[in-house]
Structure 1
Amino acid sequence: MKINQNYIKHILAVECGSWKKTFFLDKDNYSIGRNSTNTFFCHHRVISRNHAHIIRVNYQSLVDSERSENVFWLMDGDFFGRRSTNGIYVNGKKCFCAKLNPGDIIFFGGIDVKAKYDIVNLQSKTFYSIAYPDYESIFAEKVYNSEMSDLSIFSAFTDENFAILELISQGVFIVNLESSEIVKVNQNYAQMLGYLSSEIIGLKLEELDCCEKEIINHDLSTLAQNNVKSCRYSIHQGKEKKLINVLVKSVPINYQEQKCILVSVENNSNLQKLEDALRYQSSHNLSTNLGNKNLLEKQLAWSLGFNSLKESNIALIKIKVNQWDNISNYFSQEIVSKLLENLIFIIKKHLSSIDCLCQISADEFIILKEEIINESQVNTIIEQILTDLKQPITINGNSIILNVNLGVTIHPQDGKNFHELIKNTNIALESSYEYGNSNCQFFTENIAKTITIKNKNFMLMNDVISSNKFVLKYSPIVSAKTEILSGFNATINFVEEKTDLQELDILLKVQESNYDEDLLLWSLEQILKDYNSWMEDRQTFDLKISLKVLLSTLMKDNVIDKVSELITPENQFPSVELEIVLDNSLVEENFIIERLNILSNSSLNYGLFSPDIQTFFAFMREKIKVNTLKTSPRLIKNLEGNSGEEKLISCGVDLAQFLNVDLVIEGVSTENQKDILSSIGCDRMQGLFFSPALESEKVPYFLEKSRVE
């Protein structure tokens, strides 16, 4: 019974642990390996970058054109003869080349990555390995088991026929089947390889055809014994070992009373290059040559499958470069490209050869790290990256500090598949901003719940911004030693307290709405209004009022000028100090210094609000003069005797004294915290222990009962 060949499909089912995928073999050649440009991408440490390749040889009957058969060959290494490190095994036997039969079991480099080759009839839904265990070639018209000298079925071919082939663009030559020597060649083939025609005649086919000798011999034998023609992919070697991708078509002929084959060779190097380029483009970012999200998904799928066998951990580390749009807009394309190169170099030097770094957007990267033992292993990499990024990158005279935040998930505890892990990595990254810039956060379920609540709060906050329902409250700043009031910190709040968002959350959200400049000017006007109301019928107190403002807000055009105009002596402003928050803004040192110099030349004082002492030190190394350093409440949240936080704050006290700046500790909520801070030299503090944030109308009463500087 004749089988409809349209329903016959050759398949390769590959699996690694829980990862399984079936590929239809419907092309002339396939590459298999860890290199992302391979046709079959296999991310596993036992797999070489170019581990194996598959070639299809198509045979078509010369008696019945509707009858054809595909034979697939598996070869170790790449198409150019470079072998893999760990080899291939077919049915338990290591080999360099194997003709695949239905049901063959293949191992690539070891027992973890295996595949099964089969033929399936899609119409009857049967597999040949089961339905036809003793499957043989579909060709029944053998040449009567004849000797090689029998020419009865070979078409006669003359030199006159060959002369016509000189007119076509393809390379053509004739090979003697008995000796496998080339006996005739056209000019086009000679030119393709860079030889003279006379230099090719007499060479054996395997001297030019780089395909495995076993495949060449099988092809010649099949052509000699069957009424068939063949077509296969190969690489021919030209002069000076030039390698050319070709499509080889062969047909048996009777040439000068000898069994020969007529071979046409089509140069498809450009087509092969195009296919390789398209595969590369689909899996890589062309500007950085890093893998993209498609490659990450494929590689993670392999890793998750293998992980089910090895039961080790996998880490996804998402890195976001803060304010990358501002950087791209401010600097030239040349500087931006070099900056990106430096960033990638810094990240890569802390990764191993099996780790994968992908770029999923202009300002976001993901590291896929396998075989994780514990979180400290990931922490080490992150700390190394953050430490390196604290140093400025100098390009064409521009000194630039890149600012990144990171979010981490660990498989299997934080997600079972690609989408769960990516979602939770995003949540961890978002949570890292709770601790300021240059911070990292590992995913937990509690963080996920917090972020969900925070996102709901942000939705409520959009209504507040649109209706301008803000109010200033004032937190007293007190000397812990003398209990003397030295000033207030003005904090931005909502008229109706619908959320538990912190002030920095509000400032960042307002910035997203591009309302930050208006809010800053409104806050300063409100401070003046409130201060004047406090001083009615009272003596004037020399109180300093501080107000947090994002660095990125001050970097906007004309903002500093507008602030300076507002605080002129004519307006009788109190002593106001802007607490500059080092948010995720463009940090190009010369640009910042230029803007802050303008600010320092005004009558306004400024301080620095920093989530950690290290950030303050990095900012101060250019000797930018600030009057006050204020630390984040998070720095003392877990403050206990002999804790790491205590030692860090102690260093901050010494640094503040050395730089002659005031140190204010924000967030003091217990007497124990106050006592510990006092014992290491901290004096000026604010927080719930001293007083909650006061509404403006309650400040005069607080002033009456307080000792004021």
Structure 2
Amino acid sequence: MNLLPLPLAVFVVDASGAIASWNKACEKLAGHTAADIRRRRLEELIEFDDAREPPLTIAARSELDSSGYLRCADGRRLPVRVTIAPQSLDPEQAGTYSVIVIPRAGLVPPRYALIQDLPTADLIEGLPCVFYVIDQSGHLLLWNHQLEEALEMTSEELPTTNVQYFFEEKDRAEIVQKILDAFDKGSSSHEAEMIGKLGKRTTLLFHCARTNLGDLPCIFGTGLDITARKQTEQGLLIRERAIYSSVNAIVITCCQDGEHPIEYVNPAFEQMTGYTLAEIKGRDPHFMRIEGCDTIEHQRIHDALQNKQSVRSILRNARKNGEVFWNDLRIDPVINADGHVTHFVGVINDITEARHYERRLHHLAHHDPLTGLANRTLLQDQLKFAIDFAVRNDALGALAFLDLDNFKHINDNFGHDAGDVVLREIAHRLRASVRENDTVARVGGDEFVLVINNQAGDEQLADLIERIRLRVSAPINVAGREIVAGTSIGVSRFPHDGDTVDRVMRAADAAMYHAKSLGKNNCQFYSMELNQVVHQHLLLEASLSRAIGNHEMVLGYQPKVDLRTGKVVGAEALVRWHHPINGVVAPDQFIPVAEESGLIVPLGEWVILEACGALKALEALGIEDFVISVNLSARQLRQRQFASQLARTLAHAGVNPRNLELEVTESQLMDHPEEAMEALAELKALGVRLSIDDFGTGYSSLSYLQKFPVDFIKIDRSFLGDVAEHGHTVIARAIIALGHNLQMKVIAEGVETREQLAFLREHDCDQMQGYYFSPALSQASLEELLCRDARLPG
């Protein structure tokens, strides 16, 4: 062990340099006795290297680092470093100076004599803390190796540095005051962070007391390293602040003889529950329970606390004002150093809004937002339950599909707000028509479904369905206007018509489809005969899909004749199906199927391609001003990219757009007139011709009709009938006049008699088509007809 190897000889001198006192180390180092030193001057004992005339004053040397030689009693000249500092740190007690004399390197005695004289030297060196002795100048007289390690300085550096410079500048005034307090009051204590030469920082708890070394007043003390403790305290402060600032409520309870009294709650807990810490400190948290509620969760919490284990629970509690709230609670034990659980920490998250939102989402996921009825998801669950019950108990149940007949007309003519009122009223009437254990659902815009449980028999079920139909069909008052929404109802029975959800629903849907096909506003029950009809419908749909790809479709072309010249100026392309087994299938059989299934789109594309091919063939024969018209389906008209796709088709085929005419029915245009107007404008921009087919059979608005960019209107065949009857021709004459006034040409279709032809010519109709001139022809026959310039007789 090598405790401070340097002997510190300290003189106390006045401003003139006269020696007033010294320590025993002076005598040991220089060999002088007290009688030799007393009343001598400093320059007599120390020969300064920078000696000058006149000599420097003591005050001047206090600002210098000096070196020189100590004149020993035996005549030796000992090389030393000399540090001179005011005797007191207090500037108001100036007048005397401490002179610290330290032998220079290489001449240090093996052991510092002062330490050798202390019986506790080994003890001081072995202390688990910093030990130091400071004189009144603020310089170190004595220290142990722990101080050297903390300051990262050598033993030669330490005594020449005033102790206040071991600390941050902002702390130095307080450090000096604490040292002065120790000299003045006998002792002092303080915490401070000491800065090492290389930047090491050590937080120490200092305790110092006044003493004397010989005649030299000084203080000695210890500094206990509390760096780890301060870091722990800082961590605790941070965690305490985190708990205090947490948005989650936190409650801390202590364990006392099986009880768990509250020791602390944070502000979030106070805000969440309405209780302050002062009100509930010492109480068990279970005072917020709602008795009889969440008993299983309360038992889980009780068991976990008994077993000193963590637990998480979702349960309800009551706030101070009695309001019930849902909370997500997590409780964890706190274990001390001995392994014993001393406390429990509970973290509470208020999830009341989340629970309400979850319930709203669950309701929305299973109910229609407009009517509050069950939606398709809940319907299927309820239907499955009802079918299973009927199968197990040999009971009769029924599924009724209801489709409103006039709902689109209601929306278009009265507005969507009125439509919503109608739907809500229908929902109310349906709920009122069935029992509480039956299910009423809305599965589409105007489609409702009933699951009717446990019926006595078919007659009672039929009576109930008819009462429902009559109630739904009764007028509904909307803003002073009466609206009637008829309904078509299809009914299947379970388990008679099926024992699975899919079978029962398909049976009811087929029955409803049959009801609508019979004229709407009626009810049909599913039957084996009906099943055969549906089966044939499905087979037809499957065959139609295959037919388009297998080239079973052919086009016929019915000529259009100019009534003034008798010349054939165009033709309407009419699609026919040559079934390999069933022969020719009429258009009125497969076109509705194509419309419902969506196959009308690929079929329509095929018709346009065939028509373009026919136009190119006619062009090769020198016939260039001929127009072929193609019927356009509603699905095609609604396709967003139809116009651009048609442009590519015409360009690829090399067909002049003016040779292609697209026919759109009046009802198609009036379904969504604004959308139809936009679609027709895009088609018109391509250069194709446009015509309105079946004119007079729909509900045209003249304000819209004059805005549609069409070239022709076609008089439906139903308005030509018996032209001998004046009443049968009124509408035809009006359509011709209307078309001409709107700068459109008028075409009459279905012309079959000489009388009809004469009527049309008399009233200046532009074109005609029909069996009177020619039925639909094959492409070859059409080419032959045009090449020989066949005309309608005058």
Q: Same fold (TM over 0.5)?
A: no
Q: Taking structure 1 as the reference length, what is the TM-score of the superposition?
A: 0.45
* Structure in which a larger fraction of residues adopt helix: 2
Greater gyration radius: 2
User: Whose RCO is larger (CA < 8 A, sep 6+)?
Assistant: 1
Instruction: Give TM-score, length-normalised by structure 2.
Output: 0.40
